[in-house]
A and B are shown apart, each in its own frame.
Chain A
Amino acid sequence: MYGPPAAAAGAENAEDAASRPSLYRRRAAGLLVILVALAVAGLFSVSFGANPMSPVRAWGALWERDGTEASNIVWTVRLPRTLLGVLVGSAFGVAGALIQALTRNPLADPGILGVNAGAGFAVTIGVGFFGLSSIDGYVWFAFLGAAAATVLVYLIGSAGRGPASPVTLVLAGVALSAVLGGFATFLTLIDEDTFRALRSWGLGSIARTGPDETLAVLPFLLAGLAIAILLAGSLNSIALGDDLAASLGTRVGRARVLGVLAVTLLAGGATALTGGIGFVGLMVPHVVRWFTGPDQRWIILYSALAAPVLVLAADVVGRVVARPGEIEVGIVTAVIGAPVLIALVRRRIASGL
């Protein structure tokens, strides 16, 4: 009932085998396009903002740290923000690709699966009971909460016999988010300070985290990326179904545990730094699959490079539309991402899911 991605992948493989040279050309060309787009998005990200400058000037300021106003803005505000965007973008994109592959579920996304709710709940506890007051204190609570929620949703979704079905996982995420959200709402409503501290935390922003917190979380994100890359080959055989994967020599159980660990590190760490940027992990793997075909190694590589483009672009849009204020990047991605999710379920008529 829920196994068609394997069948679909098989069909695509047959198709690809007939046109293999063009597939390689397409993958290489796509990679080039993404790298160029990433460079452009990065340059825009250091150029636009409350105090806009031309990309040429921003480029100059990047290379000469000479104490002028432009160079100060670029080096102290916009460059860290852009690098953080690249980092968390990669993390969310790869986490999405991983969880879609692990669950064979094209609708999986770290945000939909309750990671945000877990992080938000933990931060609420931190503020309400432990008196946290600054963003660097939030990071570890958020990380723990996100990790616990990911593991819990995965366990709920895969309870019973057989692998987790797409609908069950999504609903487990919704249910857990509802429960955690209910408790968090209660804690914020009984205390105005908690309410004040938390109402903007979960929006998803790359503007407020400092370099120190980023560096503290960086090792976890890198570890998650490394596991993801090592795991990519096994994911290809898992796409064929657990039995076939086992007969091809993949240790399915170990691969799943490592995969969930990587998702937890990536999504948890990135959510801790930003408050959660939804739908990136859902959209990017879908789009890159048009270029790469079903090979997980390419999907993960592409997602790691393409997701930052989306995050930076959304961030720039949020800075440009609401000038002199700005709209958080997580809101922009939700506004783009929800229609994409709806289009996906409308396109896949019963067969796909």
Chain B
Amino acid sequence: MNREGVAFGYRTRTLRHRSFSGRVSVRLLTVSAALFLSAVGLTVVALTHGDYPLTIQQVFGALTGGERGFERTIVVTWRLPIAIAAVVFGALLGIGGAIFQSLTRNPLGSPDVIGFDAGSYTAVVVAILVIGTGSYWWIAFAAIAGGMATAFVVYVLANRRGVQGFRLIIVGIGVSALLGSVNSYLVSRAEIEDAMTVGFWGAGSIARVSWPPLVPAMAVAAAIVVSAALLSPAMRRLELGDDAAVTLGTRPGPARLGLIVTGVATVAVVTAAAGPIGFIALAAPQLARRLTRSAGVSLVASAGMGATLLAGAHLLSLLVAQAYRPVPVGLITVCLGGGYLIWLLIRETHQRYGLTL
């Protein structure tokens, strides 16, 4: 994002059509395709793992209709929605992270850093412990409402003649700390079973995803992808600064609002269905940027990287479950993602990349 100069030396292909023309980086296309392929590959491997191990042939048989009976139930009814959720949610988080990092022009601007997760966690804690509901749809609603409200508050508090990346992050940390202590207070006073329920939700797990909640989530995901694709040119222009964006024919206000709504929606869908899954939105765009060697974050490559990361974390969680105990996938992403953030800090602080806030 902050690199200077034009991207010389990248091989590109020019596409021309009656209604569309554009230049596409060959590297970006190959990397994105490879990432999506690896996400699908990891998913297929993940389908074979579980309490009842299957072979790849059995999985393919069940998927294509060759296998009947118990194997088919296991694969199609139980494991497939979880595996699809890993890919789709990962891609959504990648898109959301890319949008926020582009808007804040900061590799640390991600929905979980600015307090969205803490907000939805608090709302779910209140829903389960105070109101006493355990229904899936209420929890999903609470997660979305709490997250959106918190993101809005953080944004408003950080806004002072424009939103600075640095201020946004610190305000997010402050609000998260406040909500975190309220959460711990409520959890410490609750019945142990309810508190454990909240704890599991807060760890972020896709293991309970089944078809009924996945279908609406997929519909929203499709809408998000379309909206992100439509807004992508405006996002590129906003990265040049508002003045340049206006010159190029983009209205910054509506474009930014549309991007923020799309970005928050990505996290809202995932959080509602699976609980907070941390750090994918943070890490995916930056890892993708390194692979594509592009100047800015790319939506397609970030989506591919997000899908690969979450599919990989899902597979890892299955392997840990076989070897030791079941572990929520959110804890794996937090540990790996936190480690990645530490590495990013050590490596890049003094290169001035992006952290010159």
Q: Please indicate which of the listed interface residues B327, B345, B350 has the most CB atoms of chain A within 10 Å of its own CB.
A: B345
| A156-B346, A178-B279 given; A203·B184 CB < 8 A | yes
Question: B181 and A278: CB pair below 8 A?
Answer: yes
Question: A335 and B181: CB pair below 8 A?
Answer: yes
Q: Inside 8 A of B64's CB, which chain A residues have their CB?
A: none
Distance between A199 CB and nearest chain B CB, rounded to angstroms = 5
Q: Which A residues from 180 to 237 make CB contacts under 8 A with B?
A: 181-183, 185-186, 188-190, 192, 195-196, 199-200, 202-203
Of the candidates A167, A188, A331, the one whose C-beta lies within 8 Å of that of B166 is: A167
Contact flags A163-189 to B (C-beta < 8 A → 1, else 0)? 001011011101110110111011011
Contact flags B129-151 to A (C-beta < 8 A → 1, else 0)? 00000000000000000000000
Q: Inside 8 A of B181's CB, which chain A residues have their CB?
A: 203, 278, 330-331, 334-335
In the complex the two chains form, what is the Cα distance from A345 to B188 in whole Å?
A: 31
Question: B192 and A178: CB pair below 8 A?
Answer: no
Question: A189 and B195: CB pair below 8 A?
Answer: no
Contact flags B278-299 to A (C-beta < 8 A → 1, else 0)? 1100000000000000000000
In the complex the two chains form, what is the Cα distance from A145 to B187 in whole Å?
A: 23
Is A107 close to B, CB under 8 A? yes
In the complex the two chains form, what is the Cα distance from A192 to B185 in whole Å?
A: 18
Is A11 close to B, CB under 8 A? no
In the complex the two chains form, what is the Cα distance from A330 to B188 in whole Å?
A: 13
Q: Please indicate which of the listed interface residues A186, A195, A337 has the most CB atoms of chain B within 10 Å of its own CB.
A: A186
Contact flags B176-214 to A (C-beta < 8 A → 1, else 0)? 011011101101100010011001101100000000000
Question: A188 and B199: CB pair below 8 A?
Answer: yes
Is A160 close to B, CB under 8 A? yes
Question: B338 and A168: CB pair below 8 A?
Answer: no
Question: B346 and A338: CB pair below 8 A?
Answer: no
In the complex the two chains form, what is the Cα distance from A337 to B355 in whole Å?
A: 26
Question: B345 and A156: CB pair below 8 A?
Answer: yes
Is A342 close to B, CB under 8 A? yes
Is B170 close to A, CB under 8 A? yes
Question: Nearest CB to that of B349 among chain A residues?
Answer: A168
Distance between B87 CB and nearest chain A CB, rounded to angstroms = 22
Q: Inside 8 A of B202's CB, which chain A residues have their CB?
A: 185
Distance between A347 CB and nearest chain B CB, rounded to angstroms = 9
Distance between B12 CB and nearest chain A CB, rounded to angstroms = 35
Question: B184 and A185: CB pair below 8 A?
Answer: no
Q: Inside 8 A of A327's CB, which chain B residues have their CB?
A: 185
Q: Inside 8 A of B337's CB, which chain A residues have their CB?
A: 178
In the complex the two chains form, what is the Cα distance from A338 to B115 in whole Å?
A: 13
Stretch binding the partner chain, chosen from B17-25, B48-56, B77-85, B328-336:
B328-336
Q: Inside 8 A of A181's CB, which chain B residues have their CB?
A: 334
In the complex the two chains form, what is the Cα distance from A202 to B182 in whole Å?
A: 12
Is B3 close to A, CB under 8 A? no
Question: B335 and A182: CB pair below 8 A?
Answer: yes
Is A112 close to B, CB under 8 A? yes
Q: Which A residues from 307 to 333 make CB contacts under 8 A with B?
A: 327-328, 330-331
Q: Inside 8 A of A160's CB, which chain B residues have their CB?
A: 346-347, 349-350
Question: B175 and A342: CB pair below 8 A?
Answer: yes
Question: B177 and A112: CB pair below 8 A?
Answer: yes
In the complex the two chains form, what is the Cα distance from A339 to B170 in whole Å?
A: 11
Instruction: Classify chain A: how many residues form its interface, as a range.
Output: 35 or more
Distance between A165 CB and nearest chain B CB, rounded to angstroms = 6
Q: Inside 8 A of B278's CB, which chain A residues have their CB?
A: 178
Distance between A67 CB and nearest chain B CB, rounded to angstroms = 35
Q: Which A residues from 61 to 90 make CB contacts under 8 A with B?
A: none
Distance between A80 CB and nearest chain B CB, rounded to angstroms = 22
Question: B173 and A199: CB pair below 8 A?
Answer: no
Is A42 close to B, CB under 8 A? no
Question: Nearest CB to that of B190 among chain A residues?
Answer: A199
Is B40 close to A, CB under 8 A? no
Q: Inside 8 A of A179's CB, which chain B residues have their CB?
A: 334-335, 338-339, 342
Question: B185 and A331: CB pair below 8 A?
Answer: yes
Is the contact region of chain B dominated by helix, strand, or loop, or is it mixed? helix
Q: Inside 8 A of B356's CB, which chain A residues have their CB?
A: 1
Instruction: Classify chain B: how many residues form its interface, as a range.
Output: 35 or more
Question: B170 and A185: CB pair below 8 A?
Answer: no
Question: B342 and A172: CB pair below 8 A?
Answer: yes
In the complex the two chains form, what is the Cα distance from A301 to B279 in whole Å?
A: 41
Question: Nearest CB to that of A340 among chain B residues?
Answer: B174
In the complex the two chains form, what is the Cα distance from A339 to B157 in whole Å?
A: 10
Q: Inside 8 A of A330's CB, which chain B residues have their CB?
A: 181
Distance between B165 CB and nearest chain A CB, rounded to angstroms = 9
Distance between A192 CB and nearest chain B CB, rounded to angstroms = 7
Question: B167 and A168: CB pair below 8 A?
Answer: no
Is A254 close to B, CB under 8 A? no
Q: Inside 8 A of A1's CB, which chain B residues have their CB?
A: 356
Is B108 close to A, CB under 8 A? yes
Question: A167 and B167: CB pair below 8 A?
Answer: no
Distance between A207 CB and nearest chain B CB, rounded to angstroms = 13
In the complex the two chains form, what is the Cα distance from A111 to B180 in whole Å?
A: 13
Question: A202 and B184: CB pair below 8 A?
Answer: yes
In the complex the two chains form, what is the Cα distance from A175 to B164 in whole Å?
A: 21
Is B160 close to A, CB under 8 A? yes
| A179-B335, A189-B200, A192-B196 given; A174·B173 CB < 8 A | yes
Is A159 close to B, CB under 8 A? yes
Is A37 close to B, CB under 8 A? no
Question: A338 and B345: CB pair below 8 A?
Answer: no
In the complex the two chains form, what is the Cα distance from A58 to B81 in whole Å?
A: 64
Question: A341 and B192: CB pair below 8 A?
Answer: no
Distance between B191 CB and nearest chain A CB, rounded to angstroms = 11
Q: Inside 8 A of B338's CB, which chain A residues have their CB?
A: 175-176, 178-179, 182
Question: B196 and A172: CB pair below 8 A?
Answer: no
In the complex the two chains form, what is the Cα distance from A353 to B357 in whole Å?
A: 9
In the complex the two chains form, what is the Cα distance from A244 to B325 in whole Å?
A: 55
Q: Inside 8 A of A279's CB, which chain B residues have their CB?
A: 177
Which 8 A-B residue pairs are closest in the complex by CB-CB distance? A338-B178, A179-B338, A334-B181, A182-B334, A178-B338, A175-B341, A160-B350, A341-B174
Query: Would you give 25 A-B contacts (Cβ < 8 Å), ordered by A?
Result: A1-B356, A161-B350, A168-B355, A170-B170, A171-B108, A172-B345, A174-B173, A175-B338, A175-B345, A176-B342, A178-B278, A181-B334, A182-B335, A183-B335, A185-B202, A186-B203, A186-B327, A189-B199, A189-B203, A189-B328, A195-B196, A199-B188, A327-B185, A338-B178, A341-B170
Give 12 A-B pairs besides A167-B355, A175-B345, A189-B203 with Cβ atoms closer than 8 angstroms: A157-B345, A159-B345, A165-B349, A175-B341, A178-B334, A200-B188, A203-B184, A331-B181, A331-B184, A335-B181, A341-B173, A346-B167
